[in-house]
Amino acid sequence: MTVNSPVIELKGAGPELVKKLAILGVHSVGDLITYYPRRYEDYSHISTVDKLHPGVVTVEAKISQVIGRYVRRGMHITEAMASDETGSVRLIWFNQTYRAGAIKAGVTYFIGGEYALRRSRFSILNPSIELASDFPVNTARIVPIYRETKGLKSSAIRKLVLQAIKSVKNLDEHLPKWLTDRQKLVVYGQAVTEMHFPSSASELNKAKRRLGFEEIFELTLAALLNKYEFAKGKALAIPFKQKLAKDFVGSLPFKLTNAQRKVIWRIYQDLEKTQPMNRLIEGDVGSGKTMVAAMAALMAIEQGFQVALMAPTEILARQHADTIYKLMNSIGQGDKVSLLIGGLTPKQKANAHKRIKNGDIKFMVGTHALISEKVDMHKLGLVIIDEQHRFGVEQRKKLQAKAGHMPHVLHMSATPIPRSLALTLYGELDISVLDELPPGRQTIITKVASPNSRKTLYAGIDKQLQAGQQMFVVCPLILDTETSGGVSVEEVYEQLAKHDFKHRKVGLLHGKMKSAEKDTVMKKFVAHEYDILVSTTVIEVGVDVPNATIMLLEGAESFGLAQVHQLRGRVGRGEHQSYCYLMPSDSRAPSQRLRALETISDGFKLAELDLQLRGPGAIYGSMQHGALDLRVAELTDIKLIAAARNAAQDFIDRKESLKKYPHLDLRVSTLRAVTNLN
């Protein structure tokens, strides 16, 4: 049997079991072997009966006096006595009718379970039992607990995993020997076995380090290879013109921050080279990323190059086009800016295509229409991508085909990225941080509001709406479910529009609406045709409504800290003081996470805190983590990440061939192709 064998070849894996395994993403023997436990319970300490204490226990004893009977409402109870040299303890199983017939008299078992008080007597409840002569799977060890599905429990998964590990005689090593020796990593096969059936806590830690190291090594190697491949391309050098930069800055009605000056200088240095720039600008909402991008674009435009700015949505593209036009028009370059999105009429698109081709348009702002439609670039020098975080291999090839060379690429993101994530997710990018807000920008006042105070809160909000301001209400779900706790966008919209704010104009926005419909709703909100917009997180990225001063997050505990920080950045963009209210779904004391939002306004600190408390999914969503397939590695382990990154660089410096390591080759190829993790 090999890792590629289907699971149905395992003994006892019939069609129904195979269907259940498929729900868990397990199709092959290899999938099963790498289906690592989500946690462990320690039954490894074997006690004598006289030393038992309440909690998880394991004893080695013989079982006798086994009796099964039905009690009220059809419940079945099996009772037995377990005895060793020091005494006896009662065992109780609920609704396990097969137990009485399966227990062998006079045979020694490992018995593991919860030792607790039941009807004035201490008993071991629903214990797992295994013959002491066998290799214990469910007792007398550190027991793995897996993610389960209906009809498939961890005990059944353990048996299948053990069979799979025994059936595949040799689990091939994935990493070079020089690397495992240098890092003192246990061999792959041993690590996998210890992950599922740890012989001790220390051996489990060694297994986790080995497998976690491999995951980060694969990821950073993929990122570095992408980086080197990108660097091989030839870009058009865009010389720095000092007078041009000074004149533009002098025309602005505000002063640049020191952070903006430092970042734009790094970009100008990148643009002067024929090695393509591949830089990410990170900065909180309002830190001036668009201003920096405009200054980079100006240097290109003034020297005859074209610039393309790609945004994730049409409304954000329109917003950028307006901002860029105003900035460029201040120095007489407004007529060189054009918008290209799917929502334009055929005539408008044809005109834009013509003007782009002949070079009249120097600054193109749009969505992926810029590369997916038949756009013939005249002399593309710089591409700016907003909130995409990854610009994929295929998009690069399309741009190369249009430009005839590799353009310089500048990424912008308002998502604060902890350093450990930046080293892994964005290892191929040079990163600059705008860690300074322009002077005079007001801090958004953030408060946790109990559901019990809703009436008072609404009264205060209504006064602000009466004064002409607007409010976002953001919900974690689109539709109501039994477990939603009344925080679905549909239910909240109904409640506000027909009851609490029936005298106000209330709009509805969510991800299942068609793109044109979403744009229409958002335009109406910008035009103040709605006082309140009830939405899901589709408003998270970039939308600018200066008149919106109130953000209310329903079911606030459902959002990650970095996500809340992003969302509250939708307000506070005008002259008035803005507020963000966090409404949990119940009236219990708010969590440490929510309280942190009241006092911390630094997005990077919040992102680090969320990474520690809830993992990367809290920052980027479960799809991001799933795409990376990090099953073992902890992205808070800075030492492991640094070691893996150094090892990936060594692998490249040694000119190692991936073809020598088939599994590593496949994983790295897959990760290199992951192009959009947002």
pLDDT score, position 241: 94
Question: 561-568 and 603-614 are packed helices; what angle lies between their axes, rounded to 10 degrees?
Answer: 150
Neighbours of 169 (CB within 10 A): 9
Neighbours of 601 (CB within 10 A): 16
pLDDT score, position 127: 94
The rounded distance, in Å, linking the Cα atoms of 248 and 236 is 23
Answer yes or no: is pLDDT of 539 > 80: no
Nearest to 678 by CA among 610, 614, 624: 624
Q: Chain centroid to CA 456: how far?
A: 36
State pLDDT tens for residues 96-141.
999 988 998 889 999 999 999 988 899 999 999 999 988 888 899 9
Nearest to 647 by CA among 230, 189, 216: 216
DSSP helix/strand/coil, 398 = helix
Model pTM score: 0.72
Nearest to 296 by CA among 277, 322, 282, 310: 277
* Gyration radius (Cα) of the chain, Å: 30
pLDDT score, position 617: 57
Pair of tokens at residue 113: 């379970």
The rounded distance, in Å, linking the Cα atoms of 490 and 483 is 14
Phi, psi values for residue 12, rounded to 5°:
85, 0
Task: For strands 108-118 and 121-131, give the pairing.
Answer: antiparallel
The rounded distance, in Å, linking the Cα atoms of 555 and 403 is 47
Phi, psi values for residue 454, rounded to 5°:
-55, -45
State pLDDT tens for residues 226-236.
888 888 888 89
Type of residue at 486 = G
Percent of the chain with pLDDT over 70: 92
Nearest to 280 by CA among 289, 272, 271, 269: 289
Strands (E), 539-628: 548-554, 579-583
325: left (phi over 0), alpha (psi -120 to 50) or beta: alpha
Range list of H helices, 110-253: 154-167, 177-183, 188-196, 201-232, 242-251
Contacts of 205 (CB under 8 A, 6+ apart): none
State pLDDT tens for residues 639-670.
898 899 999 999 999 999 999 999 999 999 88
The rounded distance, in Å, linking the Cα atoms of 545 and 522 is 9
pLDDT score, position 392: 58
Q: What value does the mean pLDDT of the chain take?
A: 87
* CA distance readout (Å), 158 to 1, 45, 154, 172, 460: 18, 20, 6, 22, 57
pLDDT score, position 462: 95
The rounded distance, in Å, linking the Cα atoms of 431 and 413 is 11
pLDDT score, position 149: 92
State pLDDT tens for residues 367-398.
888 876 678 887 889 999 887 655 555 766 67
State pLDDT tens for residues 39-88.
998 999 999 999 999 999 999 999 999 999 998 778 999 999 999 999 99
State pLDDT tens for residues 152-197.
999 999 999 999 999 997 888 999 999 999 999 999 999 999 999 9
Burial of 657: CB neighbours in 10 Å, binned 0-12, 13-18, 19+: exposed
pLDDT score, position 21: 95
CB-based contact 636:420 (threshold 8 Å): yes
State pLDDT tens for residues 412-460.
887 777 776 777 767 778 888 888 877 767 788 999 998 899 999 999 9
Task: For strands 55-70 and 46-47, give the pairing.
Answer: parallel
The rounded distance, in Å, linking the Cα atoms of 414 and 592 is 24
Strands (E), 348-454: 363-366, 380-386, 408-413, 430-434, 445-448
Answer yes or no: is pLDDT of 144 > 80: yes
Q: How confident is the model at residue 622 (pLDDT cuts 50, 70, 90)?
A: very low
Answer yes or no: is pLDDT of 566 > 50: yes
* CA distance readout (Å), 407 to 271, 374, 382, 495: 10, 18, 5, 51
Nearest to 257 by CA among 298, 287, 285, 279: 287
Contacts of 328 (CB under 8 A, 6+ apart): 294, 298, 301, 334, 336, 337, 363
Domains of the chain: 45-140 (2.40.50.140), 445-600 (3.40.50.300)
CB-based contact 496:472 (threshold 8 Å): no
State pLDDT tens for residues 191-241.
999 999 999 999 999 999 999 999 999 989 998 998 888 888 888 999 999
pLDDT score, position 624: 44
pLDDT score, position 586: 80
pLDDT score, position 536: 87
CB-based contact 586:451 (threshold 8 Å): yes
Higher pLDDT, 53 or 519: 53
